[in-house]
Amino acid sequence: MSDLTKQSPLGVYVEHLKKGELAYQVCKDDNKAFFYPRAIAPETGSENIEWRVSKGLGTVYTTTVVYYKGEQPLNVAMIDMDEGYRLMSRVEDIDPMQVKIGMRVKFRAHPGDDKTLPYPVFTALIPDPSPGGRRETSASPLPSRPGDTGGKAEGPGVRDGSSK
Amino acid sequence: MSGLKRGSIAVVGAAESDLGQVAQHTSPVDLMAQATMRALDDCGLTLKDVDGLFVAATQVRMGPMSLAEYLRIKPRVFDGTQIGGSSFMTHVAHAQMAIQLGLCEVAVIAYGSTQRSVSRAAASPREFNPYESPYRPILPISAYAMAAARHMHQYGTKREHLAEVAVAARKWALMNPKAWEKEPLTIEQALNARMVSYPFTVRDCCLVVDGGGAIVLTSAARAKSLKKKPVYVLGVGETLSHANISSLPDFTVSGASVSGPQAFQMAGVTPKDVKMLSLYDAFTITPILFLEDLGFCPKGEGGRFVADGGIAPGGKLAVNTSGGGLSYCHPGMYGLLVMIEAIRQVRGECGERQVKNCDVSLAHGNGGVLSSQCTVILGSENTL
């Protein structure tokens, strides 16, 4: 049962991020994952909600590059997490125009600053052909979102994952 | 929409306020009031006749109160439903309920904005969202840009198709003396304009201008005795799908796929019967999505539908003959002006850009970040 005088959904989420974890919720009535965090589960209206820590793997659903005057271009993307929910984020450490739909990505926590709470960002999971570089790729399971049409970029990761 | 009757009410007055750039210190309510009186003059009614007032705006928190105070009227029915740019289509549906039930007889729907004068940031401040704001999307632009990117990925839509929408709007605008843009635009110019949020350049984005408008609605019975030929409300449909873009399940399908069929069913017409469409073009992707979702082409074919001047003057289908939000006027929440052009086309008042035999037109409103979708189908007396 939620008690909003003691703890808020965003508060719990931020505590996880401070530990380097991406947390999400599952409604125990219909076993559906949802995001953003809520006190009441969508559709069921249930308070029977479980917090879970994400494995941190997802696929770029769509992407844009925003141009602020006098700044470097900035990526903004929607990420479909393997656990079956979606969030807005950005893919870092890569040219924003090279962030592609269908690209596999991995979570890391951005610490935020004095004005901004910590928040999740992502880096590209680019399969590395060297033997030592295969570990991260093979750790990438199939996306669980049914009917996902993420695209070709998932191909290699999927094959590597199943041949383990 | 069971309960609402096809043709039970009609639009009898329609007018814009002054548009473009208004004088310093003009208020949004000044523009609403000016448009209201112009719309009343258009049909020969007076303020004393108005007993229903429907207002939404971004700069006026409690619209019906502000406009009623300004005009010193005491409407019996009032509604300030604020769901972004499609609010006014929803107001039509709500006015129809009120008029059919006899709660009011003459309803005014009004809007005003001074967003060019005071800046968009001041006119439409956005709510902080801890799950989106840290990523600094330029909203609403980046939300629609991500819808366009997904449509391009899934259906092979190209940036050139988006540019076609901007160029078609500009061609229509050059036939509209009230349009803000006065110079021709080419595909190359649209593609090479300043990038704002990929795949959108500034030419994929609507104008930021001042303006407002008003329409007057009354019962079909009373409409017959007024100055202008009535434009009947044949069908309405409305839906909400989300508030923030992160919660839209499929970025290639809008709520127009819900509101459109509702409106068509009530109107008893099909897309083939519609001679002209006014589709809320906040960004070049929206007419493409709405043509698909409203049933004017199959899902995914919108880009190819608008190619080669498909919706430009002389094209397959007359869309946004005013020049749209892209080239005519976009004062923040543009839905009322979307309807005004569709009304004028049925009246036959559009001069050089008039669509021949325009008995049925469709006005589709969009609000938020593809969040609210409302469709109104309008018809002349011949369609009753």
Q: Is residue B275 part of a domain?
A: yes
Same domain, B256 and B332: yes
Q: Tokens 């980046």 correspond to what residue?
A: B142
Residue B16 pLDDT: 98
Same domain, B330 and B190: yes
Residue A16 pLDDT: 98
Q: How confident is the model at residue A127 (pLDDT cuts 50, 70, 90)?
A: low
Same domain, B243 and B353: yes
Percent of chain A with pLDDT over 90: 73
Say what the alpha-carbon torsion angle B245, A13, A47, A29 is, to the nearest 10 degrees.
70
Residue B133 pLDDT: 97
Same domain, A35 and A78: no
Same domain, B342 and B218: no
Same domain, B175 and B98: no
Q: Which structural domain range is residue B284 located in?
A: 143-205+235-383
Same domain, B20 and B165: no
Q: Is residue B93 part of a domain?
A: yes
B106: left (phi over 0), alpha (psi -120 to 50) or beta: beta
Alpha-carbon span B161 to B323, nearest angstrom = 17
Same domain, B196 and B265: yes
Cβ contact, residue pair A64, B145, below 8 Å? yes
Q: Is residue B19 part of a domain?
A: yes
Sign of CA dihedral A94, A100, A104, A110: positive
Q: Strands A104-110, A91-92: parallel, antiparallel or unpaired by DSSP? A: unpaired
- Answer for the pair B86, B280: CB distance below 8 angstroms, yes or no: yes
Alpha-carbon span B270 to B160, nearest angstrom = 29
**Chain A: closest CA distance from residue B54 (Å):** 31
Same domain, A128 and A103: yes
Sign of CA dihedral A29, A33, A39, A41: negative
Q: Which residue does chain A place closest to B139, by CA atoms?
A: A66
B139 touches chain A (CB under 8 A): no
Same domain, A37 and A105: no
Q: Is residue B195 part of a domain?
A: yes
Q: Is residue B133 part of a domain?
A: no
Same domain, A95 and A35: no
Least confident range from A55-64, A118-127, B105-114, B354-363: namely A118-127
Residue A154 pLDDT: 35
Q: How confident is the model at residue A161 (pLDDT cuts 50, 70, 90)?
A: very low
Same domain, B153 and B217: no
Cβ contact, residue pair B196, A86, below 8 Å? no
Same domain, A66 and A120: yes
Q: Which residues of A touch B (CB under 8 A)?
A: 10, 35-36, 61-68, 74, 76-78, 86-90, 97, 101-102, 110, 112, 116-117, 119, 149, 151
Q: Is residue B127 part of a domain?
A: no
Sheet holding B52-55, edge to edge: B77-79, B52-55, B106-113, B211-219, B9-16, B231-240, B372-379, B360-367, B276-279, B318-319
Q: What is the Cα B67 distance to its own chain's centre?
A: 21
Q: How many domains does chain B have?
A: 2
Q: How confident is the model at residue A126 (pLDDT cuts 50, 70, 90)?
A: confident
Residue B211 CB coordination number (10 Å): 31
Q: Which residue does chain A place closest to B244, by CA atoms?
A: A88
Same domain, A61 and A128: yes
Chain A CB contacts of B195 under 8 Å are 65, 67
What is the identity of the amino acid at A112?
G
Same domain, B55 and B147: no
Separation in Å, CA A134 to CA A105, A128, A131: 15, 6, 6
Which tens digit of pLDDT belongs to each residue from B277-317? 999 999 999 999 999 999 999 999 999 999 999 999 999 99
B194: left (phi over 0), alpha (psi -120 to 50) or beta: beta
Q: Which structural domain range is residue A85 located in?
A: 57-151
Alpha-carbon span A161 to A154, nearest angstrom = 11
Same domain, A136 and A110: yes
B202 touches chain A (CB under 8 A): no
Q: Is residue B344 part of a domain?
A: yes
Same domain, A29 and A43: yes
B247, B289, B333: which is closest to B149 by C-alpha? B289
Sign of CA dihedral A99, A105, A111, A112: positive
Q: Please give the mean pLDDT across all residues of chain B.
A: 97
Cβ contact, residue pair B136, A78, below 8 Å? no
Q: How many domains does chain A have?
A: 2
Q: Strands B9-16, B77-79: parallel, antiparallel or unpaired by DSSP? A: unpaired
Cβ contact, residue pair A64, B146, below 8 Å? yes
Same domain, A68 and A42: no
Q: Strands A91-92, A119-124: parallel, antiparallel or unpaired by DSSP? A: parallel
Same domain, A25 and A103: no
Alpha-carbon span B151 to B303, nearest angstrom = 9
Cβ contact, residue pair A149, B196, below 8 Å? no
- Answer for the pair B12, B45: CB distance below 8 angstroms, yes or no: yes
| CATH at residue B255 | 3.40.47.10
Cβ contact, residue pair B195, A67, below 8 Å? yes
B154 touches chain A (CB under 8 A): yes
Q: Is residue A158 part of a domain?
A: no
Q: Is residue A95 part of a domain?
A: yes
| CATH at residue A147 | 2.40.50
Q: Which of A88, A98, A116 to mutate to test the interface with B (most CBs of B within 10 A)?
A: A88
What's the rounded mean pLDDT across residues B195-205? 98
**Chain A: closest CA distance from residue B91 (Å):** 27
Q: Tokens 């801890």 correspond to what residue?
A: B130
Residue A1 pLDDT: 66
B178, B366, B190, B207: which is closest to B278 by C-alpha? B366
Write the burial class of residue B265 (CB in 10 Å: 0-12 exposed, 13-18 middle, 19+ buried).
middle
Residues 6+ apart with CB under 8 A from A113: none
Same domain, A27 and A80: no
Same domain, B176 and B109: no
Q: What is the Cα A32 distance to its own chain's centre?
A: 16
- Number of inter-chain CB pairs under 8 A, A vs B: 77
- On the question of pLDDT at A156 being above 60, the answer is no
Q: Is residue B131 part of a domain?
A: no
Same domain, B185 and B282: yes
Residue A157 pLDDT: 31
Q: Is residue A4 part of a domain?
A: no
Q: Tokens 């700069």 correspond to what residue?
A: B59
Same domain, B15 and B164: no
Same domain, A35 and A109: no
The token pair at B374 is 């409302």
What's the rounded mean pLDDT across residues B34-58? 98
